[in-house]
Structures are given as C-alpha cells and as structure tokens.
C-alpha cells in the first residue's frame, strides 16, 4: 500500500472518530416557544432537529434564532417567535401580511407605508404608544390614521391645528383644550375625524333659575331661555310661564323666573308578566323558531291625582286600582323536522343535521386551567383528554353527551366532557388534546352535529 493511500485512510478514520464522538455526545439546550421554556438534553445535531424532538412545529414565516440549520452546542438558547397575520387599514385600503416582525414601523415599511411624525397608529382601536412593539398574537389589526386639519372657534376666536386622533374629543384633549359638560361643542365630541373639520366651542356662563321657593344656579352655553331651562332639566308644561319667555335670549344678569301651574298624577304601577308557551311545529326545520302569537306584559296601577298652583297643593283625588293592560300570552313555535345535509369541510364530505356557531378553546390533561394539577378522566368516562374529546357547558353535556360532532380545523369528535367558562353568555366549547400534541385555540367556529341522528336530539337550541 502506497504512503499516500495510507495517509488518506488515516484521515478518513480520524473524521469517522470525530463524527462518532460528536453524535455520541449529548448537549443541553433551552427552547423558548409559545410562552414556555423547555430544557432539552439531546444528541440532535441542529436547531431544527431539537425543535422536532420537542414536537414544536414552525411555519416558514416564524422567526427561529439561531437559524434552523445551525448546529447545537451545550447551553444554547433557542427562541421561536411566531409570525402573526397583520392587517393594516391605511389611506382607505386594507393591507395584509404574515410576519414575525414586532417593530410597527418595519411592518408598515414592508407594506410600502410610511409612519409620519403626526400619524397615529391604532392597535385594535386603541392608540399604540410610540416606541411600542406589536404583541404576541395570531392576528393583529392596525389602523394608520393620517392627520386632519381642525378649525375650531372658541367663543368666536378661531384657531387651527392638525390631529390624527380618532374623534374630535380626543383631538381637543391632545391639544390641551379642556371643556365641561355644560359647554356646547358642535359637532359632538364622539364625531370621528374624516377629512378637514370645522367645530365650535361655546363656553358656559352662570345663570340662576327661581322656581317657586328655591333658586338653582346652573352653567350653560344656551342662547335662549328655553334651551337653558331644558339643559337644567326644567320643562314648562301646561300653563307654566317663564320670565323672560322661552323664546327670548338669556338675560344679561342671567336671572330666570319660572311660575309653576301643575297637575300631577302619581302612579304606583306593577307589571303583570305575560306567560310564554312553546308548541312544536312539524312543518318547520329543526332550530327554526316562529312567533305564533306575540306576548305582551300587563299593567295594573293605583293612581293619586294632585293639583299644584305655584308649588301649593290645592286638591287631591284618589283613584281606585285597576288593570290598565291585560297580559297576553306569547306562543312560540319550534321546528321538529330533522333535515340531514352534506357539506365539504377540511376537504372531506360530512353529513350533519344541525350547525351552530361556538367559541372554541383548547385543553389537555395538564392544561385545564387549574394550576399545578393534571386531570386524566372525562365526564363521560372516555379516558384521558385527547384529540376527539369535546367539552361543553354542563347543561349541554347533560343534553348532548355522546353526540358526534365535527369541528373545522380539528376534526371529528364526541361530546364527552364538561368545562368551566367565565362568560355564561358565550356558546363555549373546549377541544381536547394530549399534553404532547396540544394546540392553542381561541376562535369562533361552526360545530356540525353529524349523523347518525341520535334519538335524544334536543328540539330547542341551546338545550
């Protein structure tokens, strides 16, 4: 064997020893992803292999640092920053992108938009402070507002400024222009800024109202006596008079006198609730509700009639209690005809007899909302939570336990568990996963009740 061949064989053996030694060695790395820190002891060679070993899936737009192809070393920290679907409404158009970038200015620049010094960026309708980063979220909605010119007259004095605020009230606050509830601002403070706007602010002044034996002091920007009385909550009724008259300007001294001539009826009323009766409608499809007869509450009252002249009672008459309005029963009809339909969902054809909108979240044995506890059973006795188990409100579970459903993006399932939810007004369900394949859910989705149709289908929804 030649010396050159011997040198090549020795070099190959050395490389083989180094590779085997590297593969046999273990490294400890820390992975930061989805709000969790996981420590992994592994023989994986690259960042991508370590993520695969932990079951952490990443999309092409997600930012992984160090890069996926980089080799592992002991003590390495791997960070996964999820990409978000970012929607921006600017200059009358919608822009959309999928990005892991957190700097709002960089996101806008990538969309071909500029963020000017006077512009205002809103996140979910709320101003985003300058220098703030975008939050960690699956969907981020931004609004880029350009400044508008506002011409404001304050007690006849005109001033002009520019603002990118959402409403006129916010623009005035940004300019340090304070006003009270008694001041008259036109248009209203909640008016949205869209293009140039002319506004006026009339400051209130003090005036007094003498009413019978009492005097009220009020502040108002009213131009007439009638407006001033209305803003003070005082209405002239019947034979009432004011000095000056309602259609006259507020006097220079601000003094208004009201003479009351009233007849009041004091009512002690009681509502008679109407009853509601439900009846089946064999001609209508399941979940179809109709009103056969509209119900109405009844009213009964005791009346006392009192007459006053300039605040002095002059007569009182008692009137007997009587029923003013008889209650009318409401009759509702509910459909009982079960119709089986088909739909293509997630690329497959399903048969269903009912489809409802629900808010879906997710859980797993150790992610059930109870700190430091894991649960390995379900209310229906279907074993530990896993994909295919659906949890609902308790009353839904009582009525629907064991029913088959299909959830787009999740798949087929069975109602087999009971969840606890903070908002009783939301039709809420939980989708089960194992701890290993857990996926975070928080979205509205259509839940299909699939065939075969069980014999105990609730005829009225929700059950």
Domains delineated in the chain: 84-145 (3.10.20.90), 148-202 (3.10.20), 206-259 (3.10.20), 265-335 (2.20.230.10), 338-450 (2.40.40)
Q: Which residue, among 133, 109, 120, 131, has the nearest Cα to 164 in the 3D structure?
A: 120
Q: Residues with Cβ < 8 Å from 359, sequence gap 6 or more? A: 426, 427, 428, 429, 442, 443, 444, 445
- Given a contact cutoff of 8 angstroms between Cβ atoms, the answer to whether 385 and 379 are in contact is no
pLDDT values of the chain reduced to their tens digit, one per residue, 463 residues: 576 666 666 666 555 545 555 555 789 999 888 778 888 899 989 988 888 888 888 878 888 889 888 899 998 998 888 878 888 887 778 888 888 777 888 888 788 887 777 777 888 778 888 778 888 777 888 887 888 788 888 877 888 888 777 788 888 887 788 877 777 788 888 888 887 888 888 777 777 887 777 787 777 777 787 777 777 777 777 778 787 888 888 887 878 888 777 777 777 788 999 999 999 998 899 989 899 899 999 988 877 788 777 777 877 877 777 888 999 999 999 999 999 999 999 999 999 999 999 999 999 999 988 888 999 999 999 899 999 999 999 999 999 999 999 999 999 999 999 998 888 889 999 999 999 999 999 999 999 999 999 998 998 888 8
How far apart are alpha carbons 430 and 453 in whole angstroms?
22
End-to-end CA distance of the chain: 87
3-state helix, strand, coil in the chain (%, to 5): 10, 45, 40
How far apart are alpha carbons 145 and 122 in whole angstroms?
8
Q: Which helix (H) or strand (E) holds 231?
A: helix 225-231
Considering the entire predicted model, what is its pTM?
0.39
Q: Specify the DSSP class assigned to residue 453.
A: P
Strand ordering across the sheet containing 184-186: 157-163, 148-154, 197-202, 184-186
**Which bin fits 127, alpha (ψ -120 to 50), beta or left (φ > 0)?**
beta
How far apart are alpha carbons 64 and 48 in whole angstroms?
9
- Given a contact cutoff of 8 angstroms between Cβ atoms, the answer to whether 81 and 138 are in contact is no
For residue 16, give the 3-state DSSP assignment.
helix
Strand ordering across the sheet containing 312-325: 261-272, 298-309, 312-325
Q: CB count, 10 Å around CB of 104?
A: 22
Q: Which residue, among 457, 435, 264, has the nearest Cα to 365 in the 3D structure?
A: 435
- Given a contact cutoff of 8 angstroms between Cβ atoms, the answer to whether 337 and 344 are in contact is no
């Amino acid at each position: 064997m030649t010396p050159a061949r011997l040198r090549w064989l020795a070099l190959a053996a050395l490389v083989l020893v180094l590779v085997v030694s590297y593969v046999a060695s273990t490294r400890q790395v820390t992975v930061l992803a989805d709000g969790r820190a996981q420590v992994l002891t592994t023989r994986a060679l690259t960042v991508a292999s370590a993520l695969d070993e932990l079951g952490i899936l990443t999309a092409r737009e997600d930012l992984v640092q160090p890069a996926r192809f980089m080799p592992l070393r002991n003590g390495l920290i791997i960070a996964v920053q999820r990409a978000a679907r970012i929607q921006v409404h600017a200059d009358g158009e919608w822009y959309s992108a999928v990005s892991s970038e957190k700097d709002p200015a960089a996101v806008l620049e990538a969309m071909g938009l500029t963020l000017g010094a006077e512009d205002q960026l809103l996140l979910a309708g709320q101003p985003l402070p300058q220098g703030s980063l975008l939050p960690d979220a699956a969907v981020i909605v931004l609004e880029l507002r350009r400044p508008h010119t506002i011409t404001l007259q304050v007690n006849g004095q005109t001033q002009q400024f520019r603002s990118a605020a959402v409403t006129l009230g916010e623009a005035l606050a940004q300019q340090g222009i304070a006003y009270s509830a008694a001041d008259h601002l036109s248009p209203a403070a909640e008016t949205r800024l869209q293009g140039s706007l002319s506004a006026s602010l009339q400051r209130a002044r003090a005036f007094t109202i003498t009413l019978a034996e009492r005097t009220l002091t009020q502040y108002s920007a009213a131009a007439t006596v009638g407006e001033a009385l209305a803003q003070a909550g005082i209405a002239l009724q019947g034979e009432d008079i004011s000095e000056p008259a309602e259609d006259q300007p507020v006097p220079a001294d601000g003094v208004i006198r009201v003479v009351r001539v009233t007849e009041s009826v004091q009512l002690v009323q009681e509502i008679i609730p109407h009853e509601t009766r439900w009846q089946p409608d064999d001609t209508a499809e399941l979940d179809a509700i109709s009103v056969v007869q509209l119900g109405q509450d009844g009213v009964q009252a005791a009346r006392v009639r009192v007459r006053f002249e300039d605040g002095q009672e002059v007569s009182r008459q008692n009137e007997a209690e009587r029923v003013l309005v008889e209650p009318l029963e409401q009759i509702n009809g509910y459909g009982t005809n079960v119709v089986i339909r088909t739909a293509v969902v997630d690329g497959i054809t399903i048969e269903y007899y009912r489809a409802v909108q629900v808010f879906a979240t997710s859980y797993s044995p150790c992610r059930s909302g109870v700190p430091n506890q894991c649960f390995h059973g379900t209310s229906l006795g279907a074993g530990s939570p896993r994909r295919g188990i659906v949890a609902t409100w308790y009353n839904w579970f009582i009525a629907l336990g064991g029913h088959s459903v299909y959830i787009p993006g999740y798949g087929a399932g069975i109602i087999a568990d009971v969840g606890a939810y903070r908002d009783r007004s939301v039709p809420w369900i939980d989708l089960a996963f194992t701890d290993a394949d857990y996926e975070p859910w928080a979205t509205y989705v259509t839940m299909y009740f699939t065939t075969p149709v069980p014999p105990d289908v609730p005829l009225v929804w929700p059950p």
